[in-house]
Structure 1
């Protein structure tokens, strides 16, 4: 049974025998992990004695009430600022005109701005920040709107706007903005290059990833399967690639054509390792029997001679026939 499962995984996924054994062990471990909690609760847990009796219901109710009271007390506390903090924010100071981009920390405190906000403004300026309009002060974290309304008439910003160049009749170098750029209608949308048919046996990943439903990983899997075969001899072999959905399969059938010859394997001189490297002859036992039969009975002349090796079924011979030479 074990050998049959390994052979099935090997044929289904197109992997080596070692990889098939690893996959079988992984499947068994996953199955064990899924069913372990159920087995533990159903048969193991009832056999384990309780170390202590469960607490009485009255004790649980009292603990629940105590936790509920503590939570209520927590939510009653002020969320944002304590009383002293609010007093600091709302305190008044001497008002005078100032530029927020140049005013010092001491002058801001004199205006009634709390020390922590003055330091925050200074830190904002030291990192390259700049106040371009009065409302930018409100972008400082926790800056109160009431304080801004009190200071707003005294905020004086240095003018940053550049005076516009006056237009005159003598100035002929000015260009009409409407004529500066071409009309939108003159732009043409770039068209995607049309996909063309290509030879699957000489294609690379760049050609495969252009097809819908095929990404980088899937394109590498297709090329790995192709190289292990020695090339595709028919588009019907696309269905043997693991992970292809209907969209990717339709795209391959439409654009990936078989135009070049496959790589032949001389069955009369191939070693066991060369035979097992082929995707259709992964079974090392069958490859060894083929080599031994050839040694005992002489070279194979036709495909009918290979059919005399009883361990090879008719389906495998039909699949491997295009790749063999005698």
Structure 2
């Protein structure tokens, strides 16, 4: 084997060697001409401090939003859950509930502490949120005040007109706060006045007990004047103007009227399919009966 044969390469080998040389040259150029050294990052401490303060401020705002907010409330209506949120113990809550079962009312922060026996520190925290109904007014004597407390119904002549009563006067009634009194006034204004006491049933949030309390002192003395609709001749378009009657029910009422050859009493409406029986006293305020010609 000759020494010269050691340096003889095939065409593929020569191409490979040439490519290798090119790569070596390229990497050498990269090494010499490109600076890979890391540079220190310059931080503007003033800008960074301002950014941190902004982030902290946003965090505080978000945390404030998430806090449970306490709004003014009547302590007579504290529930187990409400009492626990306020920081009262189970025993303190039970004392309050037992006091209320006796139909007694708390009228001051001092009386609240006497009944529940909460600590001075807790009373100091929660008492600023106590809101007691303004039961006394210049137009009412002490006797009237006691009557409101005891829920003894007044005779008709002594009752105030439900169509002229104010929200503040309504708030003297047990169970009626600012929210419910405002709803009653808004309902009255929207409908143009009450026709009868029974319409209080349509005020959202009024329970039968609260309605009884209200009608013990207030009643409709100047009812809204309306033109009643003849049940035995009314068309669908007239019937749907009555509260609680929609088009489907109006068609059913007319179908039953045809089958019965006219209604003999409003009570017969209870036999109509899907008729809201619990609202019949309200619906009949808008109806009268005449023999259809």
Give the shorter-chain TM-score range: 0.3 to 0.5
Tell me the TM-score normalised to structure 2 length.
0.35
Tell me the TM-score normalised to structure 1 length.
0.32
